[in-house]
Amino acid sequence: MKVLAVVATPRKRGNSRILVERFLSYASANSFVFLFDAYKEAVSPCRGCNACFNSGECVVKDNMQRWYPLIEEVDALVVSHPVYFYGPPAPLKAFIDRCQPFWFRRFVKGENLKTKDAVLINVAASMADNLFVPSYYIAKVWLNSIGAKLVSHLAFGGLEREGEVLSLKEILRRVDEGAREFFGAKA
């Protein structure tokens, strides 16, 4: 199984990174995990030029070019990020927006893309009502455009300090349970 893990946190031991690493530890030993770190990759924002509507390919030449084939060929995606102002951090949003060629191919040209399942892991400092709703819908629409179905959303508020999730047994239990279910269904 090929898994694309997409993580977007500026913190070295941020809660998002800790949880995605824990989640991925449940992938089978023969899985290939590819890690896209939104804060380490140089991905420019979408220009809105619509050149991809002609060719099905993005004309912006940067690190995103090497991720397009992987997005298409993986069997599963695990996406993890903190919520900033009810949405994903800017580097991840650039990655998401640069998936416009997939949207064009799928919904305009009618191509069948490889189907895959995905999970979204969100953390936030706040405990505000509906905090994770915008992030969920951004992920759901993006994932659908690349042929993925969002099958699980693990969301945890009240996490401000770097690494504090390690002391929260209930959150770790829920991530473990979600990972066993996600990867168990793919075995």
Residue 28's pLDDT band (boundaries 50, 70, 90)? Answer: very high
Residue 77's pLDDT band (boundaries 50, 70, 90)? Answer: very high
pLDDT at 100: 96
* Residue 165 domain boundaries: 2-184
> CATH number of the domain that 108 lies in?
3.40.50.360
Domain count, the chain: 1
8 Å CB contact between 118 and 76: yes
Cβ neighbour number for residue 21 with a 10 Å cutoff: 15
Q: What is the mean pLDDT of residues 38-53?
A: 95
pLDDT at 56: 87
Residue 186's pLDDT band (boundaries 50, 70, 90)? Answer: low
Q: What is the mean pLDDT of residues 27-46?
A: 96
Asked if the model's pLDDT at residue 60 lies above 70, the reply is yes
pLDDT at 185: 62
Please state which of the ranges 52-56, 108-112, 156-160 shows the lowest mean pLDDT: 52-56
Cβ neighbour number for residue 16 with a 10 Å cutoff: 25
Cβ neighbours for 113, distance < 8 A, ≥ 6 positions apart: 72, 102, 105, 106, 146, 147
Pairing of strands 76-82, 148-156: unpaired
